[in-house]
Structure 1
Amino acid sequence: MKQRDEYEVECKVHNPRAVDLVCDATFYGKRRDKLGILVFKDVESKEILIWKHIESEIVQDYRYLKEKLLELGYTIQSVTSDGKRGLYKAFKDIPMQMCHFHQKKIVQRYITIRPKLEVSKDLKKIVSRLTRNYISKIQLMLRKVEYSHT
């Protein structure tokens, strides 16, 4: 079995282009262990464009990777992230949205996994369809829920 220091890491070959990014951080073990990685990935090609080892998830690291990508010649068309505060400022001139997974988790926190109220049940149905419907259909569904529960 090869040891970690026996591996030679190849340099990343970049192909600068216009990209839609997904940005996220993940931590190994517990967050208190302060060992994580921040990744910027191209939505279309699924290619990891750039990454950085991190101790905590801070906006400065997102800014740093964004600037590195721009220096390499990439054009960032849009960003999808977990919606952390401050990220909207870091990508202020770039269209940005919160990923559906994190949207669902936020709604779930308020309505619970097994909602009892009818309005909560209706919201749960809408959120469960979040990734399968167009925004106009979701807006219509939300208006119907609002109208029927006021």
Structure 2
Amino acid sequence: MKNCPFCQNPSIQRYGIQNNIQRYKCTSCNKTFSLTKKLNPIKIWQDYTEGKQSYKQLAEKYHCSVRTIQRYLLKAPKTSLNSPQNHYLNLIIDTTFFGRKFGVMVFMDLHTKKVIYHQIVKTEKSVYYAVAINKFREKGYVIQSIICDGKGGLLKDIFNTPIQLCQFHQVAIVTRKLTMNPKSEAGKAFKGLVTQLKSSLKNEFYRELHYWYIIKIVLMNGLNIQMKKVIIHLNIAN
């Protein structure tokens, strides 16, 4: 027997279909409802954050309106960020944008792989990073190193802190300088070497880089202008 979920009155009537779901109306309290199972805000939150599904995709999946999805996302319990236990921090910092004016700036601790700070931003500015870093310093944390995507202003504002350009951006910069299909033998060999950067150990990569420099460059008519620019950029980044 179908009863009204609000007043338990068994006298209910069909009240149209919305999002392919049958709606009902109670003849006693006049409230409308559906008899489907209630949505799980935690599951919706997981689909939204981990599955990277949009509001519209979630609304179609759960047979409800976009507004309902937004409401359930607000209900989902959020895990609060805990303060880092180690007072010596090695940070990975970056900002990801979801649209033109909505971005999330994230700080992750390199060793624990946990997010220790985040902030909603409309633009990506070095001052946002500097302010966040100073907040940690004011609390007594020591910033040992920073990995970022090469923000010029940030490099100028932070003193006595080693900063490394993230390897993903290093590979992207080299690829952009060499083009996707380098013509010279040295360029082809160098591109193959750089693509192994993210999976190579430091000494191993340096050894292969030195071998490439001696064999492919010094013994092959010297450096051309394109290769000089790439090597100079790598030296600055590291």
> d(CA) in 2 for partners of 1:110 and 1:89?
25
Question: Is 2:105 the partner of 1:34?
Answer: no
Question: Is 2:217 the partner of 1:146?
Answer: yes
> d(CA) in 2 for partners of 1:84 and 1:146?
31
- Aligned match of 1:18: 88
- Aligned match of 1:4: 73
Question: Which protein has greater RCO, CA pairs closer than 8 Å, 6+ apart?
Answer: 1
Decide whether aligned partners of structure 1 residues 105 and 10 sit closer, same or farther in structure 2, where only a CA change above 3 A counts: closer
- Aligned match of 1:119: 186
Query: Which sits farther off after the overlay, 128-137 or 57-66?
Result: 128-137
> d(CA) in 2 for partners of 1:78 and 1:10?
26
Report the Cα offset of residue 8 of structure 1: 4.7
* Residues 21 and 40 in structure 1, CA contact (< 8 A), matched pair in contact too: yes
What amino acid is the match of 1:4? L
* Residues 51 and 65 in structure 1, CA contact (< 8 A), matched pair in contact too: no
Decide whether aligned partners of structure 1 residues 10 and 124 sit closer, same or farther in structure 2, where only a CA change above 3 A counts: closer
Report the structure number with the largest CA radius of gyration.
2
Gaps of 5+ in 2: 1-38, 42-71, 223-238
- Aligned match of 1:56: 123
Report the Cα offset of residue 7 of structure 1: 3.6
- Aligned match of 2:159: 92
> d(CA) in 2 for partners of 1:9 and 1:72?
24
* Residues 82 and 116 in structure 2, CA contact (< 8 A), matched pair in contact too: no
Report the Cα offset of residue 138 of structure 1: 4.9
Query: How many pairs align?
Result: 147
What percentage of aligned pairs have identical amino acids?
A: 29
> d(CA) in 2 for partners of 1:119 and 1:66?
41
Report the Cα offset of residue 10 of structure 1: 5.0
> d(CA) in 1 for partners of 2:210 and 2:80?
49
> d(CA) in 1 for partners of 2:201 and 2:80?
40
Report the Cα offset of residue 64 of structure 1: 1.1
Q: TM-score, normalized by length of structure 1?
A: 0.86
1:75-102 Cα offsets, whole Å, 9 max, x none, are: 1100111012112113222001101100
1:103-131 Cα offsets, whole Å, 9 max, x none, are: 00001011122222212102102212223
> Which ranges of 4 or more aligned residues in structure 1 deviate by more than 3 Å?
7-11
Q: TM-score, normalized by length of structure 2?
A: 0.56
Gaps of 5+ in 1: none
What amino acid is the match of 2:217? E
Question: Is 2:207 the partner of 1:137?
Answer: yes
Query: Which secondary structure does the structure 2 equivalent of 1:4 belong to?
Result: helix
